[in-house]
Amino acid sequence: MTDVAHLPGFSRRNGTLYCEALAVRSLAERFGTPLYLYSRQGLETAAADWLNGIKGTHHRVFFAVKSCSTLAVLRLFDRLGLGFDIVSGGELARCLAAGVAAEKIVYSGVSKTRQEIRSALTAGIGCFNLENPQELDRVQQEAEALGVTANISFRVNPDVDAKTHPYISTGLKDNKFGVSYKEALALYRRAQSLPNIRISGIDCHVGSQITQIEPFIEACRCMLNIVAALKSNGITLDHIDFGGGLGVQYNQETPPTACGVISRMAEICREKGFGDLSLWFEPGRSLSARAGMLAMTVEYLKPTEEKNFCIVDAGMNDMLRPALYQADMAVIAAEDRSDTKAETYDVVGPICESSDWLSKNRRLAVKEGDTLVMTCAGAYGMTMGSNYNTRPRAAEVLVDGGKVSLIRERETVGELFKAETIPAF
């Protein structure tokens, strides 16, 4: 097994790392670094894993736009049949710009402004996932003003421990997300009485980078208890939305498959007598992470008494996950070397923070000027990027067999402050 054997669209042949038919080193030389590169094959394989599902199971898949919002990726997923889960007016605008039909969009998020709600209603999105009573009132008011009906579900917090990093655990009762199990029934009754509201389903989301199936099972059973209570009160639902959160193999993790999650949720629903519900999922990471890599150039090799540093031109402004979540991301060489011995390095970036590291304790045979890549970088990479230290954000390319397209130009320094003005002092 090679270091990329688990990544569809990537391979290592004769020591050279390829994205489909193109050598990664050649892409780095052509477009410069830092560089995000995506494999069309990898994106299509991940989409098929979710969309194919289980025979006889009615399910829908909505890509979590926050994980990778590049227009070319959205357009490809749209053509493959995915819907889209958004959390802001900006993500709505991105989806529409990519040609997505508004009815394929689900709007999540804890702080939807009136303008965002109005824009979503005007566009005609498929469903709002509501997170508090006041939001229900706001959607009703805006829908009434526009003379339309809003499809809604409530995001219910099931108080499930996803056993993931605390920053991306979203289903515990002390998290800011959703409404409590106890208040859900009253909120659905209230929604049923509103003239411009149509109840569509129930929603939950317990966390991100989940590598066990048990949190999904626990959340499913909790949601079905509420569905049963609603049914006994004369409120029927069309769908149950399990959110996203399915993890990927960054290193040695062994997460369940998309097919496995869909199958188990469908089985539990049938056991509880709700096999007619449409099952909705909102994956992000498991659709885009493995299809993307972040290429970087080695600027310096810096040995110290304590450790060896491999200093590269990509940093926490390009990939925040290691600094924010202490994520253990794999960094590998684009070309195998036999002319230098492997050493253990901390791979670090140029940002003026000690937290600016990309990977620790990596065995690398590397020289200055070499190309390294971070694998599984296609989710929560570019979307969490920043201009800290006045650094332009990276370029992005999409590889399709032997063809490559520049899908986002590299920012220039001038673009970073062209919107600023200096007053007359």
Q: Which residues are catalytic?
A: 352
Rounded to a whole number of angstroms, the CA Rg of the chain reads: 23
| Distance (Å) of CA 158 to CA 195, 262, 273, 285 | 28, 19, 20, 22
C-alpha 200/C-alpha 217 separation (Å) is: 22
C-alpha 139/C-alpha 134 separation (Å) is: 9
The token duo for 15 is: 């020591």
By DSSP bridging, strand 197-203 and strand 105-107 are unpaired
Q: How many CB atoms neighbour CB 351 within 10 A? A: 19
Rounded to a whole number, what is the largest CA-CA distance in the chain?
74
C-alpha 23/C-alpha 335 separation (Å) is: 9
Torsion angle, CA of 116/119/121/122, rounded to 10 degrees? 170
Q: Enumerate the H helices of 172-247 as residue ranges.
A: 181-192, 214-232
Reduced 3-state DSSP string for 218-273: HHHHHHHHHHHHHHHCCCCCCEEECCCCECCCCCCCCCCCHHHHHHHHHHHHHHCC
C-alpha 292/C-alpha 333 separation (Å) is: 15
* CB within 8 Å of 234: residues ≥ 6 apart: none
The token duo for 44 is: 């299509």
- In the numeric block, the tokens 């290193």 are attached to 251
Helix (H) or strand (E) holding 152: strand 150-157
Burial 412-422 (b: 16+ CB within 10 A, else e): eeeeeeeeeee
Q: How many CB atoms neighbour CB 406 within 10 A? A: 14
